[in-house]
Structure 1
Amino acid sequence: MVALAENPKKRLTVQVAEVAPETTTIRSLDWDRDRFDIEFGLQNGTTYNSFIIRGEQTALVDTSHEKFRQLFLDTLKNQINPVDIDYLIISHTEPDHSGLVKDVLQLAPDVTVVGSKVAIQFLEDLVHQPFKRRIVKNGDRLDLGNGHELEFVIAPNLHWPDTIFTYDHKTQILFTCDAFGLHYCSDATFDEDLEAISPDFEFYYECLMAPNARSVLSALKRMGELEKIGMIATGHGPLLYHNVEELTGRYRRWSQSQTKAETVVGIFYVSEYGFSDRLAQSITNGITKTGVAVEWVDLKSADLQELQEIVSRCTGIVVGTPPTSDTAAQTALSAVLGAAKEKQAVGIFETGGGDDEPIDPLLSKFRDLGLTPAFPAIRIKQTPTDNIYKLCEEAGTDLGQWVTRDKSIKAMKSLGADLDKALGRLSGGLYIITAKKGDVKSAMLASWVSQASFKPLGISIAVAKDRAIESLMQVGDKFVLNVLEEGNYQGLMKHFLKRFAPGADRFEGVRTQSAENGAPILTDALAYMECEVVSRMDGGDHWIVYSTVYAGRVSKPDALTAVHHRKVGNHY
């Protein structure tokens, strides 16, 4: 095993390990990455895993992220002369795994690229050069010699439409790329510490796999047709060896639960077109905050009958405008319109590809069918910024809240009258939490705040999972807790209680100044504290956020904190 360092400030290292006979992993360790695809806060960095299988012929399974270009290529050349690589297997073409494919092709111009039909099509647009290729279907085999016979499993939508798994019959390793992975960076090559990796394993599933739960179950069924799976070689995080049965079982249980969900929103878009993947992911993140299940469908490769079935069972649908020049996508879009039904919620977003279906005529068609727009159409006029992705997240939350409104009202009425009133007698102060990350700012009114520790100075805050500010309060994020003043809080309270449109500026018309951590301080607040998130605990429909406090000031030493008294205990 060897580790090479590139830049101490970035903390990028590479680990090489023999994981089975004639099988080597090159793990690119990204220790300090704290965000993935804008929305997902990472607590433990991530890894990008690549593999070399040596039989009489040699195969390289996946490459790495382009940020590891020199590190990865130097390490690869230390392990093997690139011209001796016979096959480059592409599990899928997402840039964090295929970012160095073009570099490998330059080093090994005679290599044969192996992938699904969709993956090969994507690669042609990615590398812009001719290359040898071998398109594989489910059950196809490739014999490398010395017992390394590879069998391919088609696993579309996990989490891109071009995904394949590769099973080595000699070592009983299944190479799965994103599926069964997790964003977790450590020197441990394998999953021996199940307790440590479990939270990140579940978080990863919820973010990337839950919207494709049906595809997960289909992949698990195909995996069951293989011989024993002794190891799962994932594309992110540690390889699964000690807990294969336990962790695949979790995927099965979670996916079965998702597919049985009462409320489902379908997101229909064309992956690998414009910015559609990231925009759809941001909208998904907002929807799932409300407890609503999501199903993704790629309009370009969708089965029309299955597409119509999905639309018919959805409470809401979101459409990313496909390219007008793509016949398959346009046919699928017509199928969505044909299956849509009255009283469904609908949302539409441009994908930013330059050849988008016009939004207004499409929106008019849905309205004529009796569907209700759940958020204003999202129009992309330039490369999406963090604020655009945040707008998408908030739009998704609005849609999720709209499709669950009847359920929410029913839940408010379900608590016994005496218990409801008794719980409502728990009082709290009045505070406004403000946060800023990059160019994105947000705020919320809070009353469930309490000091939680002396050493270190710490507070706990209950933040509803569907709050816009929640994604800015991940572990390591910084924010300001503004304390409102008794008798002088009505203006601020009224402002921050109102419902903001997706992407709206929460601070328009409010006097602020910047804290040292960059978050806004409300000038009219009684006091403020600068805080950093240390941990988060799942509290049902809230996150219990524990944070340390490292700076603060009181503007009126003799004034009192505003107090909030409720009458009921099952809603604000």
Structure 2
Amino acid sequence: MSFKVTDKVTWVGKIDWELRSFHGEEYSTHRGSSYNAYLIKGEKNILIDTVWQPFAEEFITNLKKEIDLNDIDYVISNHAEVDHSGALPLLVKEIPNVPIYCTSNGAKNLKAHYHEDWNFVEVKTGDTLDIGGGEKLIFIEARMLHWPDSMMTYMTGENILFSNDAFGQHYASDLMYNDLVDQAELYQEAIKYYANILTPFSPLVIKKIEEILKFNLTVDMIATSHGIIWRDNPTQIIEKYMEWAKNYQENQITIVYDTMWNATRKMAEAIAEGIKSIDKGVTVKLFNAAHADKNDIITEIFKSKGLLVGSSTVNKSIMHATGGILDMIRGIGFKNKKAAAFGSYGWSGESVDILNGRLKDGKFEVINDGIKELWNPDKDGLERCREFGIDFAKKL
């Protein structure tokens, strides 16, 4: 499959309808994904990125239908991660001397991945490549968005920003453009992508977008490396990134728990009742960490102003699903969010203190000492949980 993006630019990537996890098992892809590569044809012919290695042979076969590989003048590698560079080894076997434009970190990473010293041309922000017809490519380094080697490439004349991972989504669609797909699905996948992958680099997101804006580039299209292409009001996603990067939160509280015999679940539900009793407008979402998708939970925490985490005490510790989410939270580095802990116990009761410590490690503002209930909370215990929810809501 290929299709014309413009008269000069053709999409030559791969839609992966079956993909259900990414980065190993670290990221869920409920709606599949795509690996977007682009072929520019003109006085000079340029290939921008490739696809993941399992689809390398298919990619090369399809690319040959679009162009004689020997007519490719340059390859642009915006990012060395294998989902974008996976077909490069097979491509370079066909055209071994083709110049590969990338950042200095890109060259290092590609060498480390494939152990080949290809014809690398290292570029930095502001460098240009004349591609004929009065048009040129402008390179913009995007370090840590989301790898040290990442960059974007802007094509003058067509006014296309090839943004690689930035502004993308893991979202398979044969419609391929933002104005054609379901908007709820699109933004659900876009915010999930930002929350789970780009949140740790939010200060750099702001800095990089401000730097790009100083170029005063006209952007008629943002051609991402995953998901759809932004062509209708394409800068809407840039505006969203700026919003998401600034300690984003909605009027939402998320409650995450794991439970052995439903006592901690009952506590979570009572706490939610307490919150809603004094704030009808707040969105409260409950997730059992052992059953819910971890990346969906992270997305909801990203959207929230407050987080409550609960766990039964087991073997003087917390349950592993709750612990796993808290480890993810610590790595992501959320800002400007308040939190508290709760849990049931049988005899030793360490879980709440452990949860408090983990929340503090995740840079949450822990607003109280938490609440714990012995065994299965009775009527009075559930009322204490409701009051705990009321107090938490009042302090947000």
- Scaled to the shorter chain, the TM-score interval is 0.5 to 0.7
> Where do 1:209-248 residues align within 5 Å?
209-224=198-213, 225-248=215-238
Deviations 1:244-284 (A, max 9, x none): 122110101111236x9xxxxxxxxxxxxxxxxxxxxxxxx
The SS at the match of 1:103 is helix
> Where do 1:407-446 residues align within 5 Å?
432=259, 445-446=264-265
> Where do 1:469-508 residues align within 5 Å?
470-471=292-293, 499-500=317-318
Aligned residue identity for 1:155: A
Maintained 8 Å contact 2:124/2:139 = yes
Which residue of structure 2 aligns with residue 47 of structure 1? 34
> Where do 1:84-95 residues align within 5 Å?
84-95=71-82
The SS at the match of 2:383 is coil
Aligned residue identity for 1:186: S
1:104/1:254 Cα in 2 relative to 1: closer, same or farther (>3 Å)?
A: same
Following the alignment from structure 1 to structure 2, what is the Cα–Cα distance between the partners of residues 503 and 565? 24
Deviations 1:154-209 (A, max 9, x none): 11111001111100001000001100000110111210133330111111011111
Maintained 8 Å contact 2:31/2:172 = yes
Q: Does 1:164 align with 2:151?
A: yes
1:469/1:190 Cα in 2 relative to 1: closer, same or farther (>3 Å)?
A: same
**Aligned mate of 1:28, from 2, 14, 29:** 14
Following the alignment from structure 2 to structure 1, what is the Cα–Cα distance between the partners of residues 121 and 263? 53
Which residue of structure 1 aligns with residue 245 of structure 2? 255
- Unmatched tracts of structure 1, length 5 or more: 1-14, 261-288, 292-396, 398-430, 435-442, 451-459, 476-492, 507-540, 542-561
Maintained 8 Å contact 2:154/2:160 = yes
Following the alignment from structure 1 to structure 2, what is the Cα–Cα distance between the partners of residues 221 and 444? 49
Q: Does 1:204 align with 2:193?
A: yes
1:567/1:101 Cα in 2 relative to 1: closer, same or farther (>3 Å)?
A: same
The SS at the match of 2:318 is coil
User: 1:117 Cα shift?
Assistant: 0.6
User: 1:54 Cα shift?
Assistant: 1.4
Maintained 8 Å contact 2:77/2:101 = yes
CA RMSD of aligned residues (A): 3.5
Aligned residue identity for 1:236: H
Maintained 8 Å contact 1:172/1:230 = yes
User: 1:17 Cα shift?
Assistant: 1.0
Following the alignment from structure 1 to structure 2, what is the Cα–Cα distance between the partners of residues 139 and 123? 22
How many residue pairs end up in the alignment?
302
Which residue of structure 1 aligns with residue 58 of structure 2? 71
Maintained 8 Å contact 1:24/1:51 = yes
Which residue of structure 2 aligns with residue 569 of structure 1? 386
Maintained 8 Å contact 1:445/1:496 = no
Following the alignment from structure 1 to structure 2, what is the Cα–Cα distance between the partners of residues 461 and 195? 18
Maintained 8 Å contact 1:142/1:151 = yes
Structure having the larger proportion of residues in helix: 2
Which residue of structure 1 aligns with residue 286 of structure 2? 462
Following the alignment from structure 1 to structure 2, what is the Cα–Cα distance between the partners of residues 159 and 90? 14
The SS at the match of 2:235 is helix
Following the alignment from structure 2 to structure 1, what is the Cα–Cα distance between the partners of residues 136 and 291? 50
1:470/1:138 Cα in 2 relative to 1: closer, same or farther (>3 Å)?
A: same
Following the alignment from structure 2 to structure 1, what is the Cα–Cα distance between the partners of residues 286 and 51? 39
The SS at the match of 2:237 is helix
User: 1:125 Cα shift?
Assistant: 2.1
User: 1:129 Cα shift?
Assistant: 2.7
User: 1:568 Cα shift?
Assistant: 3.6
The SS at the match of 1:567 is helix
Following the alignment from structure 1 to structure 2, what is the Cα–Cα distance between the partners of residues 290 and 499? 22
Aligned residue identity for 2:61: D
Larger-gyration structure (1/2):
1
Deviations 1:68-112 (A, max 9, x none): 122211111111111111111010101110111111111111210
The sequence identity of aligned pairs, in percent, is 27
Maintained 8 Å contact 1:137/1:152 = yes
1:102/1:500 Cα in 2 relative to 1: closer, same or farther (>3 Å)?
A: same
Maintained 8 Å contact 1:55/1:148 = no
User: 1:473 Cα shift?
Assistant: 9.2
Following the alignment from structure 2 to structure 1, what is the Cα–Cα distance between the partners of residues 263 and 35? 36
Following the alignment from structure 1 to structure 2, what is the Cα–Cα distance between the partners of residues 184 and 444? 38
